[in-house]
Structure 1
Amino acid sequence: MKKWNKPAAAMLAIGLTGALIAGCGGSGTTGNEGGSSSQEEAQKSKEPLAIKMMIPYWNAEPPKQDGETLKKVQAHTNTKLDIIWTPGSAYTDKMNASIASQDLPQILYVLANGNKNSGLVNAVRSGMFWEIGPYLKDYPNLSKLNEQMLKDSSFDGKLYGIYKYIPQARNGIVIRQDWLDNLGLQQPKTLDELIKVMKAFATGDPDKNGKQDTLAFGAAGANGFELFVSWFGGPNQFELKNGKLTPDFMTQEYMEALKLYKTFYNENVMNKDFAVNKNDFDMINKGKSGMLFAALEEVESRYIDLYKAFPQAKLDVISRIEGPKGVRVITRGAFPPQFMFPKTSVKTEAQLKQILGYMDKLADPDMQNLFTWGFEGSTYKLDNGKPVRTDVQKFNSEVASYEFMRFDDSSAAMKGNNSPILEKALQMQIDNYPTAIQNPVQALISQTNIDKGSELAKIISDAKTKFIMGEIDEAGWNKAVEQWRKTGGDQIIKEYEEAYANINKK
């Protein structure tokens, strides 16, 4: 298995994650498969390869079709790119309509959890997309994609897309180190120590203002809950034993986490409005809470307002907490976003190889430098041979806006001078991934979950909120779980177990 590398700091400084996609093959073929000796075809092979693709964007405006970043990508890959930029909020609907009409581009970006989209799953199973797994070994960059991530992004055990890199063991604790220092406390290493610190943050006047007006953490929903389940020894969404699956919320460890969060709620360790609050970061940035369970690589980019309001604030990161079953770290557990290749527009194997060639070349070091740093003299400068960002706003608007074209992890980009805390966070993500607990159903498909998953998930999420707030007891919780099972949950488990058996049968 390939190891993760550190994403470059520039992406992280604006809260973006790198992507591990891969570009063009080393052969450079853009014409007929196998080539030709004729002058006409030799000339044709030098002409830019026209590629149409559909990509999401989340800014107010789509990236410029004539931007310098896009021009450099086209020059490096010898392509002419026609990009259908689609608002992220409308992307799934647009994609589903395109699949239904079979009017698809040659490269289709698929958002995370695509294996829960009925239209996409049916299209894959009907043969509408190329299976690309057998081809990756022929490309220098694509052949280096992470084996576990390839497995976790497959449909029915086969690979149809190139996943976009997002750190997998990315979450942990961002904590006010200055609050720990004020209270004379050490960083917690065990679950019991963490709970002690959390209660001290709520009652011990960690900001030294003479008032008991702080919280341990501000939550939008039950922020961090899945981490506590794992620290108690529970699974990452599902537990797999001898081919049998159990949802995390049917385990004793989940119940322990529920009871702990009820204590947090009752003792004002967390905010009382967690069920309706929409912003995880608001309270820590306003100096009202001392920790957040969040993506570690965002330790600088998402806390700018905290430092503006409290220049003396000092943050640190923690990723490993030891519980009853030892130290446990979990992955994101979500089916990755990826780039797929429809047969309706990529009609021959030769065309597929050309487009995979583009993808491979897109992950070359020059391209990773472009997406990570931009343009020397414009968005960065070199200081003792290392890049330093010079114009963040220009980088965001003229380079980072094209982020969703890429898939690489920035590991081949130039290494800048990261701050010590960012280096620590990035290294934690690298070190934690090989032993992180996977979600065993991440790449499995359940038709019932596709059809009724959102409805059934609401049964559990509503019951979780009510339990934490004291509106139902353990009997009420068990009743909700039974409702989930009877209205489709047991069928989901059955279908996941069958899918697992089919993929892993000898």
Structure 2
Amino acid sequence: MRKSQMIAIKKVAAVVVSSAIILTACGGENASSGVYDANSKAEISWLNILHTASPPTDTVLNKLEEKTNSDITFSWIPDASKEERINTALASDSLADIVTLTLLDNSSVRNALKSGMFWEVEPYLKDYPNLAKIPPETIKSASIGGKLYGVPFQKDLARNGVTLRKDWLDKLGLEVPKTTDELMEVAKAFTEKDPDGNGVDDTTGFVDRNDLVYGAFKTLSSYFGTPNNWQVSEDGKMTPEFMTEGYMKTMNYMKDLYDKGYINKDFAVTAKTDQQQKFAQGKAGIYVGALFDSKNLLNMSKGVQDKMELVMANDITSTGNESDRAIWAANNGIGGLLSFPRSEVKDEAELKRILKFVNDLLDEDSYALMTYGIKGTHYTVDDKDAATITNTDLWQQEVQPFAASRPKESGFKIHDADPLKQMADKMIADNANYAVLNPAYALESETYNTQGSELQKMITDATYKYILGEIDANGFNQAIESWKSAGGSSIISEYEASYKATQS
């Protein structure tokens, strides 16, 4: 579908509300002549994920089109319903020239990729200066069955760490913790020693949320030496993380926090927005998550906790030894794929023109547009390429929705002027030196594809029950045995076979 046919959708930037209607409208009418001039204006439809409440207006889009010499027609799918909508679009072959696929472990997505529905792109990357710079390990992690069916979203490898109230540390005479034991002592002090000085017992050390991955649990598990999802031995044996000593140590640590009241009692049912609000309101002093959240937490505290000062830590271990530093890498640094369906992208010439468009999105100017907006309208920049947002409301409306569409999120000259964000970026770059990858990320397991989410829920539920004291170690081991008999053993054997095949 071309711009003339989708102008109404683009001008109002409509969120997809009926995949059966709008997604179908996006597909099936690529007027391909079979010959594409690399310098010609490209007409591109893009089925994309929306992570904000509303789609962007045309202000930045127009500039992006000018920069990339293209007419872009977006169809937006709200993030909350992306799995259902993408599955429907794949099943009906109602797609667009570019399809954002973020759920690479989804069985429908993986099966569609393996079926030949999308173009294999690795052989073409070398012909484009920015695409040619994608690291080989990124291509390997983003490949399905050894083939790359789209341009990978390049994310920072390991973004997580610990954010603490520096003003509370200073008041209580405490240092930034370097070990999990020291972190526990800080949590105790923040809970018991009235760090805000209001004379009321109304603070906890940690504030956490109902997320064992992006909340505190998985980052703490790195500090205890837990592998990232899976561990592979020298002889190719695969062990899931929850069957390792590090995972049990993490559960015991979290249980200790819970039993002693050093973490919010409702963490297992707390949403991320509520977690951040509690921190910003001074209800707790330790936040474990993405390091760049520190900037947002401080901004949220304005007018509520105006004396708040924050400090970050990314070098905590359970042993105190630098050699034991480790931090899990989310999806091995892969945020998904920009994929190109053969039903829409009819021939190699059209594919090459679309790849040029994606290559142009990786330019410095495109990154600045999709991150900060238009200079003088949304932000200013100093002589050191440090950018400051000058109109937050306008930026949220016109720029922020594009952030998740950037094919790469770091490594550019322009950067945030905020000191906390600069420190977070520095620590995230440092984390890459200690990142623990998931060795099974690019491996194949049909059982995992079809039953993985259901089986993982068994372990997630058992983990929460252990931390909350509803089951003991025997109960957790029983959950593992149930996981094995329900399909977990098949996942292990299938991953082992897949791993062996990659080594031959």
TM-score, normalising length: structure 1: 0.86
Q: 1:293 aligns with which of 288, 293, 296?
A: 288
Distance change >3 Å, CA 61–CA 415, structure 1 → 2? closer
Distance change >3 Å, CA 205–CA 75, structure 1 → 2? same
Counterpart residue number, 1:374: 373
The letter of the residue matching 1:286 is Q
1:9-33: per-residue Cα shift (whole Å, max 9, x none)?
xxxxxxxxxxxxxxxxxxxxx9976
Please give the alpha-carbon distance, in whole angstroms, between the structure 2 residues aligned to 1:145 and 1:369. Answer: 19
Contact 1:369 1:413 in 2 (8 A): no
Please give the alpha-carbon distance, in whole angstroms, between the structure 2 residues aligned to 1:91 and 1:281. Answer: 24
Deviation at 1:383, TM superposition (A): 4.2
SS in 2 for 1:164: strand
Matches within 5 A, 1:480-491: 480-491=479-490
Q: 2:135 aligns with which of 133, 146, 154?
A: 146
Contact 1:133 1:158 in 2 (8 A): yes
Contact 1:53 1:84 in 2 (8 A): yes
Distance change >3 Å, CA 68–CA 277, structure 1 → 2? closer
The letter of the residue matching 1:452 is Q
Please give the alpha-carbon distance, in whole angstroms, between the structure 1 residues aligned to 2:367 and 2:225. Answer: 38
Contact 1:182 1:208 in 2 (8 A): no
Contact 2:52 2:400 in 1 (8 A): no
1:440-488: per-residue Cα shift (whole Å, max 9, x none)?
1122232212222222112111111111121111111111111111111
Counterpart residue number, 1:201: 190
SS in 2 for 1:300: helix
SS in 1 for 2:317: strand
Counterpart residue number, 2:146: 157
1:204-252: per-residue Cα shift (whole Å, max 9, x none)?
2222223333211112235311122221222111111121111111111
SS in 1 for 2:269: coil
1:410-446: per-residue Cα shift (whole Å, max 9, x none)?
5335345331x32221111111113311111122232
Deviation at 1:272, TM superposition (A): 1.6
Q: 2:303 aligns with which of 305, 308, 322?
A: 308
Matches within 5 A, 1:314-329: 314-324=309-319, 326-329=324-327
Counterpart residue number, 1:70: 61
Matches within 5 A, 1:228-377: 228-242=220-234, 243-278=236-271, 279-324=274-319, 326-333=324-331, 336-377=335-376
Distance change >3 Å, CA 378–CA 477, structure 1 → 2? same
Please give the alpha-carbon distance, in whole angstroms, between the structure 2 residues aligned to 1:260 and 1:408. Answer: 35
Distance change >3 Å, CA 413–CA 394, structure 1 → 2? farther
Please give the alpha-carbon distance, in whole angstroms, between the structure 2 residues aligned to 1:364 and 1:333. Answer: 24
SS in 2 for 1:208: coil
The letter of the residue matching 1:412 is F
Please give the alpha-carbon distance, in whole angstroms, between the structure 2 residues aligned to 1:465 and 1:154. Answer: 33
Gap runs ≥5 in structure 1: 1-29, 36-43
Counterpart residue number, 1:25: none
Deviation at 1:307, TM superposition (A): 3.5
Matches within 5 A, 1:419-458: 419=419, 421-458=420-457
Contact 1:156 1:503 in 2 (8 A): no
Deviation at 1:385, TM superposition (A): 6.5
Please give the alpha-carbon distance, in whole angstroms, between the structure 2 residues aligned to 1:272 and 1:316. Answer: 24
Distance change >3 Å, CA 146–CA 455, structure 1 → 2? same
Q: 1:108 aligns with which of 99, 104, 124?
A: 99
> Which structure shows the bigger proportion of residues in helix conformation?
2
Counterpart residue number, 1:57: 50
1:102-129: per-residue Cα shift (whole Å, max 9, x none)?
2321111112x32x22222222222111
1:342-383: per-residue Cα shift (whole Å, max 9, x none)?
111112222111110111112222212222222222112344
Counterpart residue number, 2:174: 185
Please give the alpha-carbon distance, in whole angstroms, between the structure 2 residues aligned to 1:45 and 1:364. Answer: 17
TM-score, normalising length: structure 2: 0.86
Counterpart residue number, 1:10: none
Distance change >3 Å, CA 281–CA 404, structure 1 → 2? closer
Please give the alpha-carbon distance, in whole angstroms, between the structure 1 residues aligned to 2:284 and 2:38. Answer: 60
Matches within 5 A, 1:42-53: 47-53=40-46
Please give the alpha-carbon distance, in whole angstroms, between the structure 2 residues aligned to 1:396 and 1:461. Answer: 34
Root mean square deviation of aligned Cα: 2.2
Please give the alpha-carbon distance, in whole angstroms, between the structure 1 residues aligned to 2:390 and 2:200. Answer: 42
SS in 2 for 1:239: strand
Counterpart residue number, 1:5: none
Contact 1:171 1:294 in 2 (8 A): yes
SS in 2 for 1:333: helix
The letter of the residue matching 2:279 is I
Gap runs ≥5 in structure 2: 1-31
Deviation at 1:47, TM superposition (A): 4.3
Distance change >3 Å, CA 282–CA 396, structure 1 → 2? closer
Please give the alpha-carbon distance, in whole angstroms, between the structure 1 residues aligned to 2:457 and 2:370. Answer: 38
Counterpart residue number, 1:121: 110
SS in 2 for 1:470: coil
Question: Larger deviation: 88-97 or 350-359?
Answer: 88-97
SS in 1 for 2:194: coil
The letter of the residue matching 1:158 is K
The letter of the residue matching 1:320 is D
Please give the alpha-carbon distance, in whole angstroms, between the structure 2 residues aligned to 1:196 and 1:142. Answer: 47
The letter of the residue matching 1:92 is E
1:151-199: per-residue Cα shift (whole Å, max 9, x none)?
2211112211212233221000000011111111111112222222222
Distance change >3 Å, CA 315–CA 347, structure 1 → 2? same
Please give the alpha-carbon distance, in whole angstroms, between the structure 2 residues aligned to 1:240 and 1:261. Answer: 26
The letter of the residue matching 1:150 is I
Please give the alpha-carbon distance, in whole angstroms, between the structure 2 residues aligned to 1:192 and 1:202. Answer: 15
The letter of the residue matching 2:258 is Y
